[in-house]
Amino acid sequence: MQRGDGGWWRLEVAEAGHGTEYGFSVDGGEAMPDPRSGWQPVGVHGVSRVFDASRFGWSDGGWGGRDVRGAVFYELHVGTFTAEGTLEAAAGHLDYLVALGVQVVSLMPVAAFPGRHGWGYDGVDLYAVHEPYGGPEALQRFVDQCHGVGLAVCLDVVYNHLGPSGNYLDAFGPYFTGKHTTPWGPAVNLDDEGSVEVRRFICDNALRWFRDFHVDALRLDAVHALVDDSPQHLLAQLSVETAALSAELGRPLGLVAESDLNDPRMVEPVAEGGLGMTAQWSDDFHHALHTLLTGERAGYYEDFAQPGVFAKTLTQVFLHDGSYSTFRGKEWGRPVDPVRHRGSEFLAYTSNHDQVGNRALGDRPALTPGQLAIGAALVITSPYTPMLFMGEEWGASTPWRYFTDHEEPELAEAVRTGRRREFAAYGWDAGEIPDPQDPETWRSSVLDWAEVDRSPHRELLSWYRDLLALRARTDELRDDRLGSVDLTYDVDGSWLVVARGALRIVVNLSDATDVVPLDQAPQDRVIAYGDAEIVAEGARLAGHGVAIYAV
């Protein structure tokens, strides 16, 4: 290769078309994958293969895109969504998702990562698609099929760190900096010498998913770990460039951030000093709802156990909006302006891959079917953008655990002992913690689709479908103004009522039949989970029952 300007090296190979295998040797060392490799057919340590994205025959010319704000998200992990663990197999369930009422399929990371099985957050070839999932053309085909049935696709991308195995970026330039540190080690270089090219590497990656794979939105992992002291934050740069591409393509493109900052600046326009994200996840809402339903009080759930917390997160997004966070040991967050900000700019959920998989046993919430139905109702009728985690809609009994498939014995042991040490601090017996490297840990996390047709899963699935259908046809439930929702509740925590226009979502949180008072006499019962009837005082609901009434 010949040295060019700015540290770049170049070699023109006329015959190196689609399918050509190659690698880069730096200073006479072993051949390494191309940092921008679009195809890693034999894994993250093997040769790269030229992928010509323009060869695919798209059939989605009539797809106009979708503004993901207010759309129903469904988060799925390709490797455990089906027994086959491929994009092709996942596509076999698209009609099911449409019938459920889903509008956006949110794929967990597919960038090439080490081994066969993993969450995908230790990806190292960010431009490639994990070969066991089917490789890059399989992703194009999946997105095309989604668009064909009216589903948008959101792809999870990780720019805050790379995994430890197969990470060769350091050999090619200053992709990392010691100027900042993150929980995963040195930070990605966003503001040190050489950062212009690193930022280009990230932004080009994001734009490539939009342009070459027709993805509709990106979910940006843990953006609070993107440490950037530049005059323009990377997220703002990405927002501006995404908006320009959106105008060029003539369809909306979304950026959904996972942020721990509780700062509405995340979703404020760049022109107004914001970071320009389309939407962001709302963990405070999840924590408040989880505590309300389960009674858990440990760890970061401690602050969410007080009366009125759920009411605040339902109407003001964040609990910690400048208040003291016990878990963090400091004041945290900034308030959301109910006039300036819309509920659809925040995603609400009863669970997601983090809130299940990062538990010691990877267990889903230990709730009755009625409690699961309550959680679904409070998410789907909220002013927020609702998100489901795969299998929750039928109360899947399968856990979703942390699993890896590292080839290096030292790394495998470090992951295993690190996981056990982490939870030992919370009083868990190390022998109880599933071994991430044990294939059974992955295998036990695969969804059991046979449950869909069995009771009580069948009834819960029907409830989800009814809720989502009601949301789709009811303007009041899609009203994303934060001021459009009101909540009253029993101080003892036995019931609550959410008002959405002329609708009342009535919830009995106790396990015994109870009469829930209403502000207006109910006229009609719209839908219910569990026995429910109109009485003089309001509505009588069975224990862990939920019903929606028109008043």
The answer, yes or no, to whether residue 172 has pLDDT greater than 80, is yes
Q: Is residue 122 within 8 Å of residue 114, measured between CB atoms?
A: yes
Q: Which residue is catalytic, options 221, 405, 451, 466? A: 221
**Region(s) of the chain under CATH 3.20.20.80:** 71-282+321-395+422-478
How many beta carbons lie within 10 A of that of residue 179, not counting itself?
Answer: 15
DSSP state of 348: E
The tokens for 14 are: 């006329």
Q: Is 437 annotated as a binding residue?
A: no
Q: Is 220 annotated as a binding residue?
A: yes
List CB contacts of 454: < 8 A, sequence separation 6 or more.
none
φ/ψ of 212, rounded to 5, equals: -90, -20
The answer, yes or no, to whether residue 202 has pLDDT greater than 90, is yes
Closest Cα to residue 400, out of 13, 63, 77, 51? 77
How far is it between the farthest Cα atoms of the chain?
85
Give the whole-angstrom CA distance, residue 162 versus residue 511: 46
φ/ψ of 470, rounded to 5, equals: -65, -45
| 521-543 per-residue burial string, b: 16 or more CB within 10 A, e: under 16 | ebeeeebbbbebebeeebbbbbb
Closest Cα to residue 152, out of 251, 269, 280? 251
DSSP state of 250: T
CATH code: domain 482-550 is 2.60.40.1180
Give the whole-angstrom CA distance, residue 186 versus residue 178: 5
Q: Is 406 annotated as a binding residue?
A: no
Mean pLDDT of 25-43: 96
Mean pLDDT of 176-191: 92
Closest Cα to residue 131, out of 389, 405, 447, 402? 405
Asked if the peptide bond before residue 456 counts as cis, ω within 30 degrees of 0, the response is yes
Segment 93-146, tens digit of pLDDT: 999 999 999 999 999 999 999 999 999 999 999 999 999 999 999 999 999 999
Measure CA of the first residue to CA of the last residue in the chain; give whole Å: 74
Give the whole-angstrom CA distance, residue 254 versus residue 221: 14
Q: Which residue is catalytic, options 125, 156, 212, 258? A: 258
Q: Is 144 annotated as a binding residue?
A: no
Identify the weakest region by mean pLDDT among 207-216, 422-431, 455-464, 506-515: 422-431
Residue 164 pLDDT grade (very low, low, confident, very high; cuts 50, 70, 90):
very high
Mean pLDDT of 442-452: 98
The answer, yes or no, to whether residue 41 has pLDDT greater than 90, is yes
Q: Is residue 532 within 8 Å of residue 539, measured between CB atoms?
A: yes
Residue 431 pLDDT grade (very low, low, confident, very high; cuts 50, 70, 90):
confident
Q: Is 356 annotated as a binding residue?
A: yes
Identify the weakest region by mean pLDDT among 8-12, 313-317, 426-430: 426-430
Mean pLDDT of 433-462: 97
List CB contacts of 464: < 8 A, sequence separation 6 or more.
100, 101, 376, 380, 388, 393, 394
Q: Is residue 108 within 8 Å of residue 78, measured between CB atoms?
A: yes
pLDDT for position 491: 87
Q: Identify which has the larger pLDDT, 62 or 431.
A: 62
SS3 493: coil
Identify the weakest region by mean pLDDT among 234-243, 290-299, 504-513: 290-299
β-pairing, 546-550 vs 503-508, is antiparallel
Helix axes 195-212, 234-249, angle to 10 degrees: 30
Closest Cα to residue 360, out of 417, 419, 412, 415? 419
Q: Is 429 annotated as a binding residue?
A: no
Give the whole-angstrom CA distance, residue 130 versus residue 384: 32
Mean pLDDT of 48-68: 98
Q: Is 66 annotated as a binding residue?
A: no
Give the whole-angstrom CA distance, residue 419 versus residue 358: 10
The dihedral region occupied by 161, where left means phi > 0, alpha psi between -120 and 50, and beta the remainder, is beta
Is 221 labeled as catalytic in the residue annotation?
yes
Closest Cα to residue 516, out of 548, 484, 471? 548
Q: Is 358 annotated as a binding residue?
A: yes
Alpha helix (H) ranges present in 82-149?
87-91, 94-100, 135-148
What length does the chain have?
A: 551
Residue 256 pLDDT grade (very low, low, confident, very high; cuts 50, 70, 90):
very high
The answer, yes or no, to whether residue 199 has pLDDT greater than 90, is yes
Residue 428 pLDDT grade (very low, low, confident, very high; cuts 50, 70, 90):
confident
Residue 409 pLDDT grade (very low, low, confident, very high; cuts 50, 70, 90):
very high
Helices (H) and strands (E) in the chain, counts: 14, 26
The tokens for 179 are: 């100027």
Mean pLDDT of 52-78: 98
Give the whole-angstrom CA distance, residue 455 versus residue 220: 37
Residue 422 pLDDT grade (very low, low, confident, very high; cuts 50, 70, 90):
confident
pLDDT for position 200: 98
Identify the weakest region by mean pLDDT among 341-345, 413-417, 474-478: 413-417
Q: Is residue 58 within 8 Å of residue 67, measured between CB atoms?
A: no
- Tell which CATH architecture fits domain 71-282+321-395+422-478: Alpha-Beta Barrel (3.20)
The answer, yes or no, to whether residue 299 has pLDDT greater than 90, is no
**Region(s) of the chain under CATH 2.60.40.1180:** 482-550
The tokens for 218 are: 């990106």
The answer, yes or no, to whether residue 426 has pLDDT greater than 80, is no
The percentage of residues in the chain with a pLDDT greater than 90, rounded to a whole number, is 94
Give the whole-angstrom CA distance, residue 209 versus residue 204: 9
Cα–Cα distance list, 426 to 40, 120, 299, 435 (Å): 39, 26, 9, 17
Q: Is 260 annotated as a binding residue?
A: no
Closest Cα to residue 93, out of 51, 140, 149? 149
Q: Is 62 annotated as a binding residue?
A: no
Residue 433 pLDDT grade (very low, low, confident, very high; cuts 50, 70, 90):
very high
